[in-house]
């Protein structure tokens, strides 16, 4: 009688293990832990990978803060390439100037034109980069806000760039 109970217990255990092994999964699960709502700008290839992955995700916006607050006229080539691709895919670039100390913000059209001109000059470089990497397709369906601030010398510098999913 004891041998029969052991056999039944063994068969039940074996069938349970086989049943669990035969279960089908629903496929790969996309982890949202890999999507970063903030991707700090560092001029290396890993930045391109992280930004592309975040833009391809379901995030409403992705913020790119700068460690080194640089002049909009001296924006790094890597970032200019991303901005150029936003325009090439139909997105818009908005420049948000810092408020003045008097509370009245004077619009400086030369600053805006200089950013747009800098982006346009990157067209050839961005086409070459786009052939080398397919990261930039992630810019489709996004607009960009370039947020400026005043540094200690009262100069306008890039504080961060925000990629926002387009309404359309």
Please report, rounded to a whole number, the percentage of residues in the chain having pLDDT higher than 70. Answer: 60
- Residue 19 confidence (pLDDT): 47
Q: Domain range for residue 124?
A: 32-165
pTM: 0.65
- Let me know if residue 13 belongs to a domain: no
Task: Return the closest-CA partner of residue 162 out of 31, 46, 54.
Answer: 54
- Which residues, 6 or more positions from 145, have their beta carbon under 8 angstroms from its beta carbon? 93, 94, 95, 96, 161, 162, 164
- Residue 159 confidence (pLDDT): 94
- Let me know if residue 5 belongs to a domain: no
- Let me know if residue 121 belongs to a domain: yes
The residues facing 164 across adjacent strands are: 61, 143
Task: Return the closest-CA partner of residue 115 out of 147, 154, 68.
Answer: 147
- Let me know if residue 3 belongs to a domain: no
Confidence of residue 161 (pLDDT cuts 50, 70, 90): very high
Looking at the structure of the chain, the number of domains it has is 1
- Let me know if residue 139 belongs to a domain: yes
- Let me know if residue 10 belongs to a domain: no
- Let me know if residue 120 belongs to a domain: yes
Is residue 76 within 8 A of residue 125, CB to CB? The reply is no
- Let me know if residue 144 belongs to a domain: yes
């Amino acid at each position: 009688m004891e041998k029969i109970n052991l056999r039944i217990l063994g068969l039940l255990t074996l069938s349970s293990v086989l049943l669990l092994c035969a279960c089908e999964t629903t496929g790969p699960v996309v982890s949202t832990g890999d999507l970063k709502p903030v991707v700090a700008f560092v001029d290396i290839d890993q930045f391109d990978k992280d930004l592309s992955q975040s833009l391809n995700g379901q995030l409403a916006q992705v913020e790119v803060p700068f460690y080194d607050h640089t002049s909009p006229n001296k924006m790094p080539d890597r970032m200019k390439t991303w901005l150029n691709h936003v325009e090439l895919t139909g997105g818009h670039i908005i420049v948000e100037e810092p408020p003045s100390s008097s509370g009245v913000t004077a619009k400086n059209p030369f600053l805006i034109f200089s950013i747009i001109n800098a982006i346009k000059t990157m067209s050839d470089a961005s086409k070459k980069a786009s052939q080398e990497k397919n990261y930039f397709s992630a810019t489709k369906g996004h607009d960009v806000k370039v947020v400026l601030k005043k540094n200690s010398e009262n100069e306008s510098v890039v504080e961060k760039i925000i990629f926002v999913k387009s309404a359309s």
